[in-house]
Structure 1
Amino acid sequence: MKLDVLGLFAACSYALDCVEAELVHVTNKHAKRVAYMSICTAEQIGISGKPLQDLAACALLHDNALTQYIQEELHSDIAQAAVSQQFPNLGLHCSFGEDNVIKLPFHTDVTNVILYHHENANGSGPFHKKWDEIPLFARIIHLCDLLDVMCRATSFTTDTWQRANDLLLKINGSIADEECVHAFIQAFPEKHFLTLGDDDLDARLWAKVPRIKQDLNFTQIKSLADFFAQIVDYKSPFTSTHSIGVAEHARKLSLFMGLEQETSEKMYLAGALHDIGKVAVGNEILEKPGRLTDEEFTIMKHHAAYTYYILSEIDDFEELRDWAAFHHERLDGTGYPFGRSADELSVPERMMSCVDIYQALTESRPYKQGMSHEKTCSILQDMADKGWLDPDIVTQVDLCFQKEQ
């Protein structure tokens, strides 16, 4: 299967920005801005071609373990982290991130880039590595990430430019190494720096690192899918295995129903991505054990639309985007986010709706025990009788998963 992998990473970067905005109040397009600054800096050092593509990917994913770190190290206390803006054991966040990207389809060796992206040139970082022990890409990302977080600009003005220059003077040779600081200054005279807040940042980034589709086997697709699902599922421990479960069930049902192998692989990826929009929804709603108020439910429903818009950024991904984003649509047109009706919903989209509900009902959560297969299928059949779900697919779900429990 050919995939716009950089586009997938860019979509992921938006999801990560939503989480990071709660913690250190980074502004919109933080990851993309770090990627663009990193690329321009690296070009001054003579980096080009596929290594430049991999630098962009690492910059987009530099904080990929943020949701995992919050759950495992801060015990999901995102509010405490947002107030203090202090992160104990920062190295653990880097270690998680490094482990997460090991199986992703890079072109070159990016070992330790994520692991050491918070290291300081003078050895005062979490792993106490000095600049000559740190990969160049990690040093570049560290500098650009620090600049963007410290500036926290909603617009880039001469004032922002001055703050950035003051910071560069202060950290040169200590927090950041002289080679990277010099390259950044060469890449970003004031006029160029002030464009970092412009609306065409995306276009300029992709002009420097064209998004070339990669031909991936299912092992690689599964690694990508599992990577994205983990980011979504770590957002809330209440749904900590939901996306992976939907992905696995979607693929299994596809094969059971006789769909082509490639379709089943696409269904796995779409299943892993179906809830990526939930990263833009607050945990106070995601983790509410009781019934949501009408207002809270309206906010929760936005996650499907967020999934649609996040995945729309990926080139030639419309089919999988719709399979992922339409999992709350109903055949009678009463679903969301777009109120699609039966003649507008394909078989994979109908399947994803059933699989999502099946997984949600059968999985245990902190506030409920998962239902049996029989009870779940009776609920699915009732929804089919009401005209919400496809009755033929509900029957296939029953037959396919009846031996699992």
Structure 2
Amino acid sequence: MKLDVLGLLGACSYALDCVEAELVHVTDKHAKRVAYMSVCMAEQMGIQGESLQDLTAGALLHDNALTQYIQEELHNDIASAIGSAIPLELGIHCAAGEKNMKDIPSHTDIKNVILYHHENADGSGPFGKKWTEVPVFARIIHLCDLLDQVCCSDSFDSDTWQKVEAFLQEITGSIADEECIEAFRHAFSEQHFLSLGEKDVETRLWNRVPRTKQDLSFEQIKALAKFFARIVDYKSPFTSTHSIGVAADAEKLSRFMGFDEETMQKMYLAGALHDIGKVAIGNKILEKPGRLTDDEFAVMKHHAAYTYSILSEIDDFEEICDWAAFHHERLDGTGYPFGKTAAELNTQERIMACVDIYQALTESRPYKQGMPHEKAYGILNDMVEKGWLDGEIASQVDACFDQKMTDIIHEEKQLGE
């Protein structure tokens, strides 16, 4: 299956920015600005073509392990980390991010780019590597990440450029190597740098970096999907593994219903991405153990619209975007975010609505034990009777996921053979 991988990573970077904005207060479009600066610098150093695509991927995902770090190293305490100073152990964060990047398809060797993207030129970084021991992509991303965090804000003006000049003077030879500093100076005048504050930075990034589709195997698609799902699910331990559970259910049910291989792959990817919009919802709402107030629920409902907005930026992704984003729509038009009716919802969108509910009911979470199949199907059937869900698809869920029914079908097939 051919996918706009860089477009997917761009969508993922938006999700990461939402998380970082909440947890460590980076400014909007942080990852895309780092990517744009990195590409401009790389071009000055003679880097072109597919190498630019791989550099862009690394820059967009340089902090991909932030929520993973917080959950695993800070004892799952994301909620208390919000608004406080996070004691980020850079080595652990970089090592986890490097491991995750193995799931991202690349054209060139990107080994150690994320692992060493916090190394300082003089060897004072987390792994003690001097700039001559660090891949050039890592050195570029390090400088651009620092510049965006230290010098950028919601407004870009002449004071911002003065801050850049002072910062570069301070870090040359110690934090950043002279080769990278020189490449930055050749790439950016004051006017060019201040233009990073404009809203079109993403458009300008994609004008410089070609987004060619890559032909991926289903195993590569699954690895990519799991990468995205981890970002969503790590943000909220209450729903940990939910996205991959929905992905697996969507694939299994599609296979059971006889859909072709490409449709099953698309359903898996849609399932993994269906809740990506939740990264834009604050953890105080996501993590609330009790019933949400009407106002809180109104905010929570926005996540499906955010999913649609995030995924709609990916080239030729319309089907998967709709299948993922419409999982809370109802046949009677009372669902959200768009109030779609039965006439506007196709089979895949109806499947996603069913498997999302079924997975949520049957999976265990910190505050509840997962329901048995019979009880979960009973709830689905109640929703069918209310006119919310497709009765035929609910019946297929029953047949597909009821182990007793699965065994009977398997025996019948063996007898038929």
Q: Residues 26 and 152 of structure 1 are in contact (CA less than 8 Å); yes or no, is this contact kept in structure 2? A: no
Partner AA of 1:381 in structure 2: N
| Aligned-partner residue type, residue 364 of structure 2 | S
Which residue is 1:311 aligned to? 311
Are residues 81 and 379 of structure 1, via their aligned partners in 2, closer, same or farther at CA, if it must alter by over 3 Å?
Answer: closer
TM-score normalised by length of structure 2: 0.95
Structure 1 gaps of 5+ residues are: none
What's the CA shift for 1:27? 1.2
Q: Distance in 2 between matches of 1:121 and 1:86?
A: 24
Map of 1:277 onto structure 2: 277
Residue 215 of structure 1, CA deviation: 1.2
- How far residue 28 of structure 1 moved from its aligned partner, in angstroms, is 1.1
* Residue matched to 1:213: 213
In structure 2, the CA distance between the partners of 1:80 and 1:376, relative to structure 1 (3 Å rule), is closer
Give, as a single letter, the amino acid of the residue that structure 1 aligns with 2:297.
F
Paired residue total: 405
> For the structure 1 residues 288 and 318, does the alpha-carbon distance in structure 2 shift closer, same or farther, using more than 3 Å as the test?
same
Q: Is the 8 A contact 2:281 2:303 kept in 1?
A: yes
Distance 1:122 1:81, change over 3 A: farther
Correspondence list, 1:37-76, <5 A: 37-76=37-76
1:25, 1:152 within 8 Å by CA — same for their partners in 2? no
Per the alignment, residue 327 of structure 1 pairs with 327
Q: Report what 1:392 is aligned to.
A: 392
CA drift of 1:82 comes to: 4.7
Q: How much does 1:84 deviate? A: 4.4
Structure 1 distance, partners of 2:367, 2:70, is 21
Secondary structure of the residue aligned to 1:210 is: coil
Question: Per-residue deviation at 1:81?
Answer: 4.1
SS at match of 1:102: helix
Alpha-carbon distance in 2 for matches of 1:84, 1:170:
27
1:252-291 per-residue CA deviation (whole Å, 9 max, x = no partner) reads 0000000111100000000000000001111111111111
1:158 aligns with 2:158: yes
Worse-matched range after superposition: 244-253 or 200-209: 200-209
- Per the alignment, residue 231 of structure 2 pairs with 231
What amino acid is the match of 1:38?
A: S
TM-score normalised according to structure 1 size: 0.98
Residue 87 of structure 1: CA displacement? 2.6
User: What is the Cα deviation at residue 403 of structure 1?
Assistant: 1.1
Tell which deviates more after alignment, 78-87 or 170-179. 78-87
Q: What percentage of aligned pairs have identical amino acids?
A: 72
Equivalence for 1:382? 382
Cα distance, 1:83 vs. partner? Answer: 4.2
**Is 1:118–1:142's contact at 8 Å kept on the other side of the alignment?**
yes
Task: Give the letter aligned to residue 141 of structure 2.
Answer: I
Q: Counterparts of 2:232 and 2:395 in 1: how far apart (Å)?
A: 29
CA separation in 2, counterparts of 1:246 and 1:79?
25
User: In structure 1, the residue corresponding to 2:235 is in which secondary structure?
Assistant: coil
Provide Cα deviations, 1:290-314, integer angstroms capped at 9, x if missing partner: 1111111111101000000000110
Cross-structure match for 1:243: 243
The equivalent residue for 2:110 is 110
| Contact map agreement 1:63 1:97 (CA 8 A) in 2 | yes
Match of 1:264 in 2: 264
One-letter amino acid of the counterpart of residue 323, structure 2:
W
Tell me by how many angstroms 1:74 deviates.
1.8
Task: Calculate the aligned-residue CA RMSD, in Å.
Answer: 1.2
Which residue identity is paired with 2:162? Q
Does the aligned pair in 1 maintain the 2:14–2:31 contact within 8 Å?
yes
Residue 172 of structure 1 corresponds to which residue in structure 2?
172
Matched to 1:98, the amino acid is E
